[in-house]
Each structure stands twice: as structure tokens, then as C-alpha cells.
Amino acid sequence: MTDILCPYCMNKITPGGIKYGCPNCGTEAHPSMIERARHMAPVCRQPGCDRRLATDRKCPKCGANLPSDILDYSKYLRFSILGISGAGKSNFLTTMLHEMRSSGLPWVLTPMDPDTQTVFRGNEKLIYEDAEPVPATPPGTPPQPQQWKIQDTKKMTNRIIPSYSLTIFDGAGEDQQNIDPKISKYIAGSRTLVILIDPLALPGVRRLVKPDVLSWSSSRASTHEAAADLVNGLASYIRTSANIKTGKLIDKDVAVVFTKMDAVFDSFGTATVTQPGPHVMRQAFMEADADAVDLEIRDWLMRQGEQSFLNAITVNFGPDRVRYFGVSSFGQPPTGPNRLGRVLPHRVLDPLMWVLAKEGIIPAKS
Ligand SMILES: Nc1nc2c(ncn2[C@@H]2O[C@H](COP(=O)(O)OP(=O)(O)OP(=O)(O)O)[C@@H](O)[C@H]2O)c(=O)[nH]1
Ligand SMILES: [Mg+2]
Ligand SMILES: [Zn+2]
Ligand SMILES: [Zn+2]
């Protein structure tokens, strides 16, 4: 492992650059040459600490406490959830993580820090115990990275369990004027971008949906932005973050994920996207299924008169690197204002399975 990423400031750090702190007195301890070379924690020489090991690892750039196993990650996964306000980011993120933990996949998913744990537990309780959607994230909330560790028990040997760090920002894509520098670094360094789109924000789709379902599925009054403007807005956010000139294609793989599919299932009949996804059960990314879903959604957009949406995606991201997904965090529309029926998330792991397959963590099968 050559480059380590600080999960908090997204700066690259070298193993030799890591700073060490004493958990007893809090002062910085300096490793000897040998300790440095072996990535060993130095001893604290402060009076009263009795040569206790200075085991706290700190980022030299931002000073954050690094996970104790920072050197053991074999991959840094960055799962960027981008989307405008109301797209369904917070609810999607919560159900995706919950499903990942309860799906029977051979992974152990652990929060890397207390904040991640608190935010996730709170949101999980709302959806799964109180049957309420996660409320709109208050505007101006600084986007906090959620830090998870995935341990792959299927690939574990006597000596090691491969582990990956998974960083997710909830709140990216919002404020075009004040893009958080951490998020910029993170987007620039992401191989895949996951763009969440609320289908109910597309004028051609809104007319398919009953007014009550429409109002229970939207946190704020819709701005009725034209579909192309919506895509161009997100694209310009990505360009600014990753420093990509207007007119140049954004050279990243993109998952365009339609959320809230429950509200529009009727218009899909018995199409593949309405059926449970096969990826989790097969523990692989099943390409034929994903191709069918991709085609169905493109086709459906055309039928709803949303060609301009497709065009805007192609103009910004090119014709070959985009995959369309359809998910529903709840599995069915809310049953009232802030009220959920039985929550059975639908295909929420599909985009992540694509990312994992591209990273070589799970196989892709045709
Ligand atoms: N029908 C339906 N509604 C959903 C689904 N997921 C989210 N919603 C609704 O969409 C609205 C917005 O969802 P959020 O998850 O708060 O969206 P967000 O992108 O986090 O929005 P901000 O925090 O405002 O940026 C809420 O009113 C949810 O009830 C879904 O799977 N189905
Ligand atoms: Mg939110
Ligand atoms: Zn000490
Ligand atoms: Zn840092």
C-alpha cells in the first residue's frame, strides 16, 4: 500500500509522515528511525507515562485521529453520493448501509468513528423502528464524511482479513457557490460518481404520479427545474470540484441512480427494474440484469418525453461511461406525510455492487 488517504481531510499521507500521540498525556511522541521504518508506535518519554506506547495515529495535515488500522486498508473506496436537495440522499444512504449489514453478504461493516455511528443509528431508528423518513438535512449543514470499514470475511486467510475504507459524503451536489474543499478533493479522486436523481423532479414524470404520493415523497416544494438544467447544475458542481473545464467530458464512470422508483413502478409494468436485484444473492455484479435495467430506464425516459435529460447526461459524461439504476429506499410510497409503511428497500445495493465489481472486490458476471 503506497498512498494512504486521510479519511477526514482527503489528503494523501505517507506511512512515514504519520504523527503519533500519547493516549495518556496527549503529547506528540517522535518515533526513532527504526520505529519509523517498521511503522511502530514510539514510546512516550513524558514523566508519569512510563514509556507507555504512543498509539494514537494522527494525520500530519489536519491533525485528526486516524483509525488505528489505517495502514491495513487494501483499498480506499469513495462512494460519492451526489444529488440536489430532496433527491433522496439521506434515506438512500441509510437504507443502503442497513441492507448491506443485513443482506447476508460476507462483509463486516463497522463505523470508523463515533459520529458515523451516531448519525447512522439515529437515521436507521427513524426509518426501521419509527417508520418515518429521515427529514431534510438542514441547509448549511457542513457535509460530514461517513466513514465505514468493510472487512471481507470471504477472502480472509489465517493472517489477514482484507479491509476497505468506505467514505461517503451526504450533502454533496447542493451548494454550487461554496463547495467544501474536502468534497472537492474527494470528488476529484473518485473513480465513480453516484448521482441520485429524484424522478419526481422531472416534469414529464410528475404527471404519472398521484398528488398525495407526490407530496409525501418530496420534502420541499419542487422547483420544477427543467431536467437538462438539473443535470447541467450537477455537472458544473462536479467540474468546479474536480477542476474540469466546461466543454470537456467528465472522465469518470457515472451511476445515474433514480430514487423513489416505487412512485413510478406502475409505468414499468413487470420490467426487470421492478423485480428484486440478483447481485446480492449471487454475491457478484450481474451484468445482464444491470444492462436490462439501464435500457429500461433510458427507454422509459424517452417515453416520458425526457430525451433532454438523457442528452444532458451524454453531453457531460459521454456515451460510454454511464449506467442507469433504479432504486427505492422504502420499497413503496410513504403512506402519509412523514409516515412509512413496511420498509422493504428495493435494489439499493445495486450501484455499490457495480463500484465493488469495478474495484475487483466482487466478480462481475455476464
Ligand atoms: N416515495 C419515496 N419517497 C422517498 C424515497 N426516498 C426518499 N423519499 C422522500 O424524498 C424526500 C427527500 O428525501 P431525503 O433523503 O431527505 O433527500 P436528500 O437528498 O437527503 O435531501 P436534502 O437533505 O434536503 O438534501 C423525503 O420526503 C422522503 O420521504 C423513496 O424511496 N420513495
Ligand atoms: Mg439529506
Ligand atoms: Zn504520555
Ligand atoms: Zn487529515
What grid cell was written down for 36? 519509523
- Parallel, antiparallel, or unpaired: how do β-strands 163-169 and 145-152 relate? antiparallel
Rounded to the nearest 5 percent, the helix, strand and coil shares of the chain are: 35, 20, 45
- Whole-number Å distance, alpha carbon 6 to ligand 4 midpoint, is 5
Ligand nearest to the CA of 330: 1
330 lines ligand 1 (CB under 6 A): yes
What grid cell was written down for 235? 455537472
54 lines ligand 1 (CB under 6 A): no
Around 347, how many Cα atoms within 13 Å sit in the side-chain half-sphere? 27
- Whole-number Å distance, alpha carbon 37 to ligand 3 midpoint, is 22
Residue range(s) of every CATH 3.40.50.300 domain in the chain:
79-365
pLDDT at 198 over 90: yes
Q: Of the ranges 11-25, 80-94, 97-111, 267-281, which is most confident?
A: 267-281
Ligand nearest to the CA of 43: 3
- Whole-number Å distance, alpha carbon 233 to ligand 2 midpoint, is 18
334 lines ligand 1 (CB under 6 A): yes
Predicted confidence at residue 35, as pLDDT, reads 87
259 lines ligand 1 (CB under 6 A): yes
Predicted confidence at residue 221, as pLDDT, reads 58
pLDDT in tens, 219-257: 765 565 678 888 998 999 999 999 999 989 999 999 999
pLDDT in tens, 4-37: 888 888 888 888 889 999 999 999 999 998 888 8
On whether the CB atoms of residues 112 and 126 are closer than 8 A, the answer is no
On whether the CB atoms of residues 88 and 80 are closer than 8 A, the answer is no
Strand-pairing partners, residue 253, are 192
Predicted confidence at residue 249, as pLDDT, reads 95
pLDDT in tens, 155-197: 887 777 888 888 898 877 777 777 888 888 889 888 899 999 9
On whether the CB atoms of residues 286 and 365 are closer than 8 A, the answer is yes
260 lines ligand 1 (CB under 6 A): yes
| CATH level 3 topology of 79-365 | Rossmann fold (3.40.50)
For 259-302, list the strands marked E by DSSP: 285-286
pLDDT in tens, 325-356: 999 999 999 999 999 999 999 999 999 999 99
- Parallel, antiparallel, or unpaired: how do β-strands 253-258 and 192-197 relate? parallel
pLDDT in tens, 120-132: 999 999 999 999 9
Instruction: Say which DSSP state 346 is in.
Output: B
On whether the CB atoms of residues 187 and 172 are closer than 8 A, the answer is yes
Ligand 1, pocket-test mutation among 82, 85, 91, 92, most atoms within 8 A of CB: 91
Q: Which atom of ligand 1 is nearest to the CA of 331?
A: 31
Instruction: Give the predicted TM-score (pTM) of the model.
Output: 0.92
Please, is 93 exposed, middle or buried when counting C-beta atoms within 10 Å of its C-beta (0-12, 13-18, 19+)? buried
What's the pLDDT band for 40 if we cut at 50, 70, 90? confident
